[in-house]
Each structure stands twice: as structure tokens, then as C-alpha cells.
């Protein structure tokens, strides 16, 4: 499973969301988190700006959450990926 976290380098909410997300890794499993600094791309600043942090499970799906981790949404995403892999 791969998540994408749109973030800023000076954002404590972004750091908190990343830490909370990493704590949800299922026992014995890992997932990857691509952390993308929105300030490095003007198009991302325009899209996300004050919404960061913003978390996606798959880019073809709506965001999972922004500002704070939605544990239920992340667990649903992980469960769906696990079922698809089985």
C-alpha cells in the first residue's frame, strides 16, 4: 500500500499526520508514504495551499483526510487493499 501526503516542511500538523499514519501500519506489514512538499510546485500550492496536510490512498480516489488523520478512513483503505491482495 502506498499513501501520498501533501505537506509543508514547517507544518507541525503535517508532521503529526505522518507520525499518526505510520503508527497505523498493520503488524508485520509495511506501507509506503510519499511525502510531497507542496511549496516546491506552484500548481500544488494552488490546489492544496491551506488544506495541508492532505492524505490520499490512491490518486484516482478522493482524499482520505486533511488537517488531521482520519483513522477510520485509513483503516478502511488498508482493509480494502488487503482484501484485494488476498
Is 36 exposed, middle or buried, given 0-12, 13-18 or 19+ CB atoms closer than 10 A?
Answer: middle
Examine residue 9 and say whether the peptide bond preceding it is cis (omega within 30 degrees of 0).
no
- What are the tens digits of pLDDT across the range 45-81? 999 999 999 999 976 778 999 999 999 999 998 888 8
CATH assignment of 2-85, among 3.40.30.10, 3.40.1080.10, 3.40.47.10, 3.40.630.10: 3.40.30.10
Which residue in 83, 68, 76 sits closest to 18, CA to CA?
68
Which residue in 53, 50, 76, 75 sits closest to 65, CA to CA?
53
Domain boundaries along the sequence of the chain: 2-85
Please tell me whether the overall predicted TM-score, pTM, comes out greater than 0.85 for this model.
Answer: yes
Amino acid at each position: 500500500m502506498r499513501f501520498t501526503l501533501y505537506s509543508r516542511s514547517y507544518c507541525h500538523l503535517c508532521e503529526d499526520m505522518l507520525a499518526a499514519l505510520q503508527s497505523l501500519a498493520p503488524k508485520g506489514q509495511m506501507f509506503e508514504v510519499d511525502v510531497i512538499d507542496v511549496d516546491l510546485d506552484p500548481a500544488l500550492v494552488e490546489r492544496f495551499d491551506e488544506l495541508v496536510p492532505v492524505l490520499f490512498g490512491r490518486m484516482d480516489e478522493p482524499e482520505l483526510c486533511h488537517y488531521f488523520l482520519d483513522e477510520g478512513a485509513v483503516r478502511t483503505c488498508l482493509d480494502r487493499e488487503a482484501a484485494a491482495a488476498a
